[in-house]
A and B are shown apart, each in its own frame.
Chain A
């Protein structure tokens, strides 16, 4: 197997020390990132518990709401329903906070939909049908669900992005950077040993020459 190495490194003791330092750092970083990845995935699973079925709930609720809306439009006319809608008072109060999950900022929505009685909605009763009330109630409920769904889906997206990039970094460290440094360290060590041996042999040779010269001289 052709072993990957860092290019252009001189086999010196200085470089060896430097590389060993780098290897230590890389290993430490690798284990930290691995922990981060595991924590993120755990958080991800927690969120997944919540996402189950929430999309379906929203769709079902909305379907009912649309049916009532259409019924209202049929009985009162499009324009009258819109007029009633215009005069409805605001019902949703949303607070968005941020929470940090291992450095990923995810939104936390604290929404408060007032459960309003018919009189509080703000349209008149003279010219509105009961279907309007029904539709309004269902839409209020669906807004609550939609906001919740939005929070969950957004969190999932953000976490997923972070998990992917962390995964990539863990893999890069594990499979490329750390082996590469290890191989380079090994290479330098071997080169140094080889030089040592060469030197040893050279010294022996010199000793021998000197000795023969002394005998002859």
Chain B
């Protein structure tokens, strides 16, 4: 099964990824529309690349989508301004909760 990849991010990031060879770019102009776009994309694409900023804005939607089934996978990447400094890495927290000790440096 061949799967489709989409990028949903700010215009610059979308341009970059289109240069890299992903044809389905969805520039986000304002945050209100992004939530709707995200829901629509989740039905159609199996990999969605988005930025951490958008991810933070739609944390609930993303959590809901990714907990429902294995696909689509939503990957958050830092945007042009660099990654957001978070107090904790969600993956690391998860690992800590499951294993009980800090594993990944």
Contacts and interface: CB of A to CB of B under 8 A. Distances in A.
Interface of A: 41, 44, 48, 51-52, 55, 58-59, 62-63, 65-66, 69-70, 73, 81-82, 84-86, 88-98, 105-107, 109, 113-114, 116, 121, 132, 135-136, 138-140, 142-143, 146-147, 149-151, 153-154, 156-158, 160-161, 163-164
Nearest to B66: A157
Contacts of A92: 5, 20-22
A160 B17 contact: no
B94 A139 contact: no
A196 B81 CA distance: 82
Q: Which of B11, B21, B77, B104 has the most CB of A within 10 A?
A: B21
Nearest to A151: B73
B12 interface: yes
Nearest to B75: A150
A87 to B, nearest CB: 9
Contacts of A146: 49, 75, 77
B20 A142 contact: yes
A160 B94 contact: yes
Given A146-B49, A153-B75, A51 B15 contact: no
Contact of B83 (A59, A96, A149): A59
